Structure 1
């Protein structure tokens, strides 16, 4: 039985929902070209010898008028990000073909010991000030950042004594409105009084059924139909002195899908979609509602601007609890024991402490910034089935790391950055038994008693980069960075075919990322180009075991390469245009075979046009085009396996508009404006079950208003 949470704020939201309106936190802003993520140094983007994507507040607000799903926002804004999966799962939505580390204010949100692909949806986007994305492996953040880093930077208090924002919006399918109406409610309070600054936000999203371009209900696996998301965010900052501050942050996120529908399985090889129909009278949904049962982050930060000469200190302590419930699946059954199916949950509890010192040194016309410190983390993760069976045993990880990062500004033209991180990780696992799981009466896995023990990992990773600011028109860079990645141990443990964990191929991998590119400012045109190549000694892909019907991990060397380009052009004070293109490809170099869609996305082009009608009204349009990718051959029956399905191109256009009237803001957005009938790229490629064969949503309207006082 799914646990319930007695949260006072939910009652407040429900009471206010008829009168709350969607609030925009800012008026038009210029693009703020700053980043603090890549090397923990606050710096201008034109100094960074790497490819960085910054999503500012205005862009976030425009996307929120269409949909509150962060997956969609990132897919449109980040060239190297795979297209949105159209679901609550980001499984298969990689960054440059590798796993990405998702953080909230620098605190990791993923569960790398058992990667469930749910890290992107960890807080409500109304709590986000901006999003910083580092593209490519980064050594400075440690395990999990093989493809890069997504850092959600949360809202800061306003300078007013108190500012209240109330929001309400309503969404509905434009193809068939029946049962599709949902709402979004946000209540926020922030301000500064004396030495205290505060931000508090309550939000709730309630979805009706989602419908595709034909008006059919989308399949339920990782679905949003009849789901509810709730978020409580609190940030308190207190100035102890002019140069010392304390900050407390708490975020609670809960999501569940409790739909009284059942899936009608499709077959993507035959072009058949999986869709949902109402349950028969008297039937009840299988299993517990899927989604996060109540994930929370608790963070405490202390800052001292000058703990000693020219040196600042930041101390971060955090705790996190994750309880993600997955969909009910017949493949987790064992009829011999009376289980017709099963449902799993990833449970993870983290506690961490970070200490960072930043020293600034001037040596003639050379200015140096040194960042050095320590990261400590304990992570206990498991994946049981809700019926009591243990699928992935408890993994107890202790991680200790020290790092140093330097930045050298030589004259006015050159920036050199270099750093290193020493990581030591220890994971302990008790003795356990793998499960006997049956896809049919004739196709079952063989249970194995596995002796536990300890797995130790350590590595030193390096990074170095150079940027030359020749002129505004041409500012090239080159960089080399390594990322340390422990494999998905939970996946390896639950599919073990040996009787001792020391015999499992669980070695960690160092991902080496090489990149070159440039940025350019030509009057009203700003653009970036980057080429990259990354290699790893032991990547992980899945291969079907025909005897058991189980997909087993294969460890082999991998190489991934690609290029990206993005541009912004201010045509006039009224018109602003942008476009971005991302291409990635990769191979298992041992077998000389292409990597599947679980890692490598189809090429992608995005474009947008923003038109400021006048000082109070803006209209924006976003276009996503996904190109073809067809690298694999079907079997004799014409079917594909794993993640090797061909991807056919498709287009999605979104439209948003807003109008300001004093303290009121009226807004509307349409997702899939032209009602494109398509399967998302992940749905086209994956063959892990019929639940992935779900089409994208048809034309959907979101309309609302905001009031600020």
Structure 2
């Protein structure tokens, strides 16, 4: 472990223990209260029972159970969110779509994704230790603008404990392979303290984790592309609040997250088509692994001003935020150009965002009618590019100015009949200066042709609408239906870097309007709860890839798309100490112009889960999670091989278990086991992605042991 960093971190986490006060689990926020509230759907706090859409809330209790197994948010979301594609088993969330489309990842409502050049690293932008709950709103939405084609994943950060000047916790743990222990042990330390002193409140948390070698069911080290072996993660989070009056408050939030894989390993590359897995070995003595450490690095600062009653029955919230992202990818020999002396290359996505949002919330009541009006403006400047570490420019800087106005309304009749309707007007100017595409050579004889492109200002404007209806008729049948639109210009950078024309105006950079339809219901019968929804979404101009054998480059293909599917959830509470939840999700999609199925980058295999939560005694808890991923075999070989993201997916099963025991006042011991039965499998992405080096196996049986102190 990095001794200097750990030496600095431990005092930060432990110095406050001299002021410690007694703390128990009963002091924690009531999870049942949290489950009844959602904030991201229409940008205000409201009851889930008044939202005509499918929503998944991951509570702090569930986060704690999953953290005992793994700190990876991709795994947590795949396990607990119906409609979320299976985890990739790596640091990347490529192919981990939400209902077949990319979701917009946010922290407290502030976008974390890089939609102008989607590098699929947006899910790992904060450590789970800093999160109070996760809200997932499914289906295209215009409420938050560009990048939310599949819905919203909003990380709601921890809130202060208003009952004490200081409370908190410190946790130490180690995770290792139970298949092949050597060099697999990692270390994690995390801590949090929070409280309120008069009108001032605060939350501060820090996490530091060193990963050991990640090993599959055979004991071999998992391949390095988006790998986690030898990675080091750091997250520092702070939230400061001040209550000026009963109505007026301010809040400042800072979050820094980084994860770097700095390893002396190198890949032994296999492929889906040969059936040989990709795994890692130590680089020969005297050689170094090519490239710089890969991984995400981002920091956010957010300032929020709230006036609960700026005028009669109206709340004002103003958010200002800034974000810097620098995500470094793996070294790739595909980025070679031997004529210029490059044997390969390593790209990074750089994105700087600055935004301002003003939201007004007015409420009016009549005899049997309650009306809510949410309206305001969003302003965003996003500068994104994708250079190579060696100085070459792969995707030129895209300078986006986005100004949008919106109105969302909710009408509640007789407490049971809810209608929601809204409109958003989007205006975007995207400036791209003159640039040249890169000459890239997959082999010495297979190269792309560089093109000089004349830049311009691309202008987009769209008006999108949404409408939903819900009837809470009886507890056993609460139906809903909704229609929502989204305007999406995501991943323009991928279109620019593969340009084959000399004028940016001739590149197919048009926005895609996504129409999303959903029907469903919720039923509660005593201790049994069921949710079901079916959906369909269409886009006028989706984007997929097609391999060009002449240049060795995967070229974008823009064509209409249709995606459809269904989700089901059933939960039974046997007692206060035992409950079981089962889910199943199925999704499919087609390029409707060519009548061909969409690949795994968008469409996931069927997924089912079972979660069991049991507290045999007050001092202990056990959680068991079962994941099933089904077959998806839609594609034939091309010239004897599977291509692109269209490899066949075979089913697999994974069981995880975790538990904790409160062995003394304020002290907890915990254990988590991932892949309990050492299932030997390839994750769905590894099976479907035929690209070189992506076919890595899933993690073999891994054990996490730790201890936590509450104060």
In structure 2, the partner of 1:658 is 660
Deviation at 1:15, TM superposition (A): 6.7
How far 1:654 sits from its partner (Å)?
Answer: 0.3
User: 384, 387, 393: which one pairs with 2:387?
Assistant: 384
Matched position secondary structure for 1:269: coil
1:98 aligns with 2:101: yes
Secondary structure at 1:291's aligned position in 2? coil
Aligned-residue Cα RMSD (Å) equals 1.7
Q: Which residue of 1 aligns with 2:576?
A: 573
Greater CA drift, 650-659 or 567-576: 567-576
Structure 1 residues 450 and 11: alpha-carbon distance in aligned structure 2, compared to 1, 3 A threshold: farther
Q: Which residue of 1 aligns with 2:128?
A: 125
127-136 or 158-167: bigger deviation? 158-167
Matched, 1:188 2:184: no
CA contact (8 A) 1:143 1:486 kept: yes
Counterpart secondary structure, 2:680: coil
- Give the alignment partner of residue 487 of structure 2, picking from 463, 484, 487: 484
Q: Confirm or deny: 8 A CA contact 2:271 2:691 kept in the other structure.
A: no
Instruction: Within 5 Å, give how 1:286-365 maps onto structure 2.
Output: 286-292=290-296, 294-365=297-368
Alignment partner, residue 468 of structure 2: 465
Q: Give the Cα–Cα distance (whole angstroms) in 2 for the partners of residues 496 and 256 of structure 1.
A: 32
Partner of residue 604, structure 1:
607
CA distance in structure 1 between the aligned counterparts of 2:707 and 2:107, rounded to whole angstroms? 28
For 1:471 and 1:27, locate their aligned partners in 2 and report how far apart those are by CA, in whole Å. 29
Map 1:221-240 to 2 at 5 A: 221-240=225-244
**Post-superposition offset of 1:487:** 3.4
| Residue pair 1:420, 1:463 contacting (<8 A) in 2 also | yes
What corresponds to 1:80 in structure 2?
A: 83
Give the equivalent residue in structure 2 for 1:429.
Answer: 432
Partner in structure 2 of residue 150 of structure 1:
153
Deviation at 1:636, TM superposition (A): 3.4
**Which residue pairs with 1:210 in the alignment?**
214
CA distance 1:319–1:147, change in 2 (3 Å): same
Equivalents in 2 of 1:70, 1:565: separation in Å? 22
- Within-5 A mapping of 1:587-666: 587-637=590-640, 639-660=641-662, 661-666=664-669
Counterpart among 550, 561, 565 of residue 562 in structure 1: 565
CA shift, 1:16, in A, is 8.0
The equivalent residue for 1:259 is: 263
Q: Which residue, out of 413, 416, 436, partners 2:416?
A: 413
Following the alignment from structure 1 to structure 2, what is the Cα–Cα distance between the partners of residues 397 and 386?
Answer: 23
Q: Any idea what SS the aligned residue of 2:705 has? A: strand
- Greater shift in the superposed pair: 358-367 or 392-401: 358-367
Gaps of 5+ in 2: 18-23
Partner of 1:443: 446
2:696 maps to 694
CA 1:27 to 1:36, structure 2 compared with 1: closer, same or farther past 3 Å?
closer
- Give the Cα–Cα distance (whole angstroms) in 1 for the partners of residues 168 and 550 of structure 2: 61
The alignment status of 1:284 with 2:316, answered yes or no, reads no
Q: Give the match for residue 20 of structure 2.
A: none
**Contact 2:13–2:206 (8 Å) recurs in 1:** no
Deviation at 1:7, TM superposition (A): 13
What is the DSSP-based 3-state SS (H/G/I as helix, E as strand, rest coil) of the residue aligned with 2:64?
A: helix
2:13·2:170 contact (CA, 8 Å) conserved in 1?
no
Q: Offset of 1:688 from its aligned partner? A: 2.4
Measure how far apart 1:413 and its partner are.
Answer: 2.0
Q: Secondary structure at the match of 2:441?
A: coil
Q: How many residues align?
A: 700
Match of 2:681 among 669, 678, 682: 678
Aligned partner of 2:180 in structure 1 is: 176
Shift of 1:376: 0.1
Give 1:280 shift: 1.0
Q: Report the CA distance shift for 1:110/1:519 in structure 2 as closer, same or farther (over 3 A).
A: same
Q: Secondary structure at the match of 2:494?
A: helix
Question: Structure 1, residues 226-283: CA drift from partner, whole Å, max 9, x if none?
Answer: 0000000000010010111100000001110011110000111222110000111111
* 1:47 corresponds to 2:50: yes
Supply the distance in 2 between the matched residues of 1:18 and 1:87 (Cα, whole angstroms).
32
Taking the aligned partners of 1:187 and 1:44, their CA distance within structure 2 comes to 31
SS of match in other structure, 2:9: helix
Q: Distance in 1 between matches of 2:82 and 2:136?
A: 10
Equivalent-residue separation in structure 1 for 2:299 and 2:7 (angstroms): 19
SS at match of 1:317: strand
The answer (yes or no) to whether the contact 1:487–1:506 under 8 Å persists in 2 is no
The aligned residue for residue 168 of structure 2 is 164
Separation in 2 of the partners of 1:281 and 1:18? Answer: 41
CA-to-aligned-CA distance 1:470-509 (integer Å, 9 cap, x gap): 1000000010000110031110010000001000000001
Q: What is the SS of the residue equivalent to 1:85? A: coil
Secondary structure of 1:50's partner?
coil
Secondary structure of 1:91's partner? coil
Query: Superposition pairs for residues 25-44 of structure 1, below 5 Å?
Result: 26=28, 29-30=31-32, 32-44=35-47
Tell me by how many angstroms 1:673 deviates.
Answer: 0.4
Q: CA deviation at 1:570?
A: 0.4
1:495 alignment partner, one of 498, 518, 523: 498
